[in-house]
Amino acid sequence: MAKPVIDAEKCKGCGLCIKFCHKGLLKKSGKLNALGAVYVEFDKDTNICGGCCFCALVCPECCIEVQK
């Protein structure tokens, strides 16, 4: 299965990836990075990411890499 790898130090927490993930696999981590943003994290326990890359396509920071 696929998984998005989010660069927590670049994420500004805009949440667009959360909005466009149609399986709801991304969420705010509740933790701050050096930019002062609450970064997004991938729900590691799931195994249903199909690798559509919608999260990476809408990420303005290009901080999501998708692996399959």
Partner 1 sequence: MKKIFSRPESLRDITTHYCPGCGHGIAHRLVTEVIDLLGVRGKVIAVAPVGCAVVAYDYWNFDCCEAAHGRALAVATGIKRCRPDRVVFTYQGDGDLAAIGTNETIHAANRGENLTVVFVNNAIYGMTGGQMAPTTLLGQVTSTTPGGRRAEVQGYPLKISEMLAMLPGVKYVERRGLFCPQEIIKAKAALHLAFDNQLRGGGFSLVELLSPCPTYWGMSPAAAMDWIRDTMVKEFPLGRIK
* Chain contacts with partner 1 (rule: CB under 8 A): 2-3, 9-10, 12-16, 18-20, 35, 37, 51-54, 56-62, 64-68
Q: State in angstroms the smallest separation of the CB of 51 from partner 1.
A: 6
Task: Tally Cβ neighbours within 10 Å of residue 57.
Answer: 13
Beta carbon nearer to partner 1, 3 or 43:
3
Distance between CA 57 and CA 59 in Å, rounded?
A: 6
Cβ 46 to partner 1 shortest distance, Å: 16
* Closest by CA position to 55, among listed 10, 9, 30, 22: 22
